[in-house]
Structure 1
Amino acid sequence: MIATACLIAVAAISVSMLMNLYRLGRGPDVLDRILALETLVVNAVGLVVVMGLWFNTSLYFEIALLIVTVGFLSTVAFCKYLLRGNVIE
């Protein structure tokens, strides 16, 4: 039963990632692309967590924490660059 639920979740997350990739490439401006990238990171974390549940291992949860950290820092760096023109002061 868990395997079926995980398979359905992986399919749904994959479809949403494809939609995010479309928005990332087609976004009208830079802010929409940054938002699509952040949503793509959230979907990637969801995919990794579901895979961790499916394979019943805890290593995937640590990988998800690393992806969240890198995604958050990259979003902050992009936004800071757009506001100020540089990242490091």
Structure 2
Amino acid sequence: MTTFLSLLQGVLVVSLVLLGVSALLVVVRLLRGPTGLDRLVALDVLVAEFLCGLVAYAALSGDSALVPVVVAISLVGFLGSTTVARFVRRGTGR
């Protein structure tokens, strides 16, 4: 049982490291663009990666107090994405 837990902890640590590397690449896309929509999609992906990191950290530490934080951030991210999509659609003349 302890080998399974240590294996699970190793997988969670590796996933956190990969999420960090991916977040750095997304930040590069966020800064370089080239369009505003590219930046908005990169920001949405960054929020999703942040949420995945929080969930992985909560699983690693065994702390369930982060669950309401994850739910709140995901709702705000969803509302922001849909608002921007409606704004962009309205601006294209459709």
TM-score w.r.t. length of structure 2: 0.81
Distance 2:9 2:37 in 1: 37
- Structure exhibiting the larger radius of gyration computed from Cα positions: 2
Q: Which residue of 2 aligns with 1:74?
A: 80
Deviation readout 1:17-65 (Å, 9 max, x if unpaired)? 1111111111110111111111111111100000000110211222111
Q: Which residue of 1 aligns with 2:11?
A: 5
Gaps of 5+ in 2: 1-5
Distance 1:51 1:61 in 2: 11
Number of residue pairs matched by the alignment: 85
Report if aligned partners of 1:20, 1:36 keep a CA contact under 8 Å in 2.
Answer: yes
Distance 1:66 1:17 in 2: 20
Q: Which residue of 2 aligns with 1:35?
A: 41
* Residues 1:56 and 2:24 aligned together: no
Cα root mean square deviation, aligned: 1.4
Report if aligned partners of 1:52, 1:60 keep a CA contact under 8 Å in 2.
Answer: yes
Report if aligned partners of 1:51, 1:60 keep a CA contact under 8 Å in 2.
Answer: no
The sequence identity of aligned pairs, in percent, is 28
Runs of at least 4 residues off by over 3 Å: none
Specify the code of the residue in structure 2 equivalent to 1:43.
Answer: E
Gaps of 5+ in 1: none
TM-score w.r.t. length of structure 1: 0.85
Return the offset for 1:84.
3.2
Specify the code of the residue in structure 2 equivalent to 1:32.
Answer: D
Return the offset for 1:83.
3.2
